[in-house]
Amino acid sequence: MAKHHLSRSAYERLQAEYHDLTTRGRIEVANKIEAARLLGDLSENGDYHAAKDEQGHMEGRIRHLEHLLDPLNHEIIEAGDAETIGPGSIVTIVYEGDDDDMAERYLIGHPEEKTEALDVMSPQSPLGAALIGKGPGDWVEYQAPHGMLKVKVLEVEQA
């Protein structure tokens, strides 16, 4: 199985989330379940069912984080060459036929790298895979669901 590539900051953020969910999160949900039990009949207790659903979602996220954080399943990537696109790069691209002011910026990396400022593009996606190893000024063609598309790399920076 392929390893997940994570930046150091994403890895540390995921560790903190895991710690929070396995400590404060579990205690909080257990308290909600206990409070709902005290309300009586569990078969028609919406608070109880909502708390149990929340617990299930949280435990699913904890299992997902355990998998990602397992040393056998991830690799920490460090910043690479500032002029070459790779995991951890922030790339600015423009589609063929569009003006440069219509450029789009993406972080190339794992979906867990998502930030408020940038959308994340997986290096395994058709466009992400085509961009790997390219640099500013390069034109890249890739197979999209409705045919071949072409983009120009305007800028590459490291996250």
- Per residue, the 3-state secondary structure of 15-40, as one string, reads HHHHHHHHHHHHHHHHHHHHHHHCCC
User: What band does 32 get if pLDDT is binned at 50, 70 and 90?
Assistant: very high
Cα–Cα distances in Å, from 11 out to 35, 44, 73, 118? 35, 41, 12, 17
Per CATH, 4-76 and 79-158 having the same topology is answered no
Residue 142's pLDDT is what?
A: 95
Residue 117's pLDDT is what?
A: 84
Q: So where are the chain's domains?
A: 4-76, 79-158
Tell me which of 3.50.50.60, 3.90.420.10, 3.10.50.30, 2.70.98.10 is the CATH number of domain 79-158. 3.10.50.30
Q: Is the distance from CB of 86 to CB of 158 less than 8 angstroms?
A: no
* Alpha-carbon gap, residue 18 to 141, rounded angstroms: 39
Residue 80's pLDDT is what?
A: 64
Beta partners for residue 133, in sequence order: none
- The answer on pLDDT for 119 being more than 80 is yes
Residue type at position 36: A
- The answer on pLDDT for 76 being more than 70 is yes
Distance spanning both ends of the chain, measured CA to CA: 26
Fold type of domain 4-76 = Helix Hairpins (1.10.287)
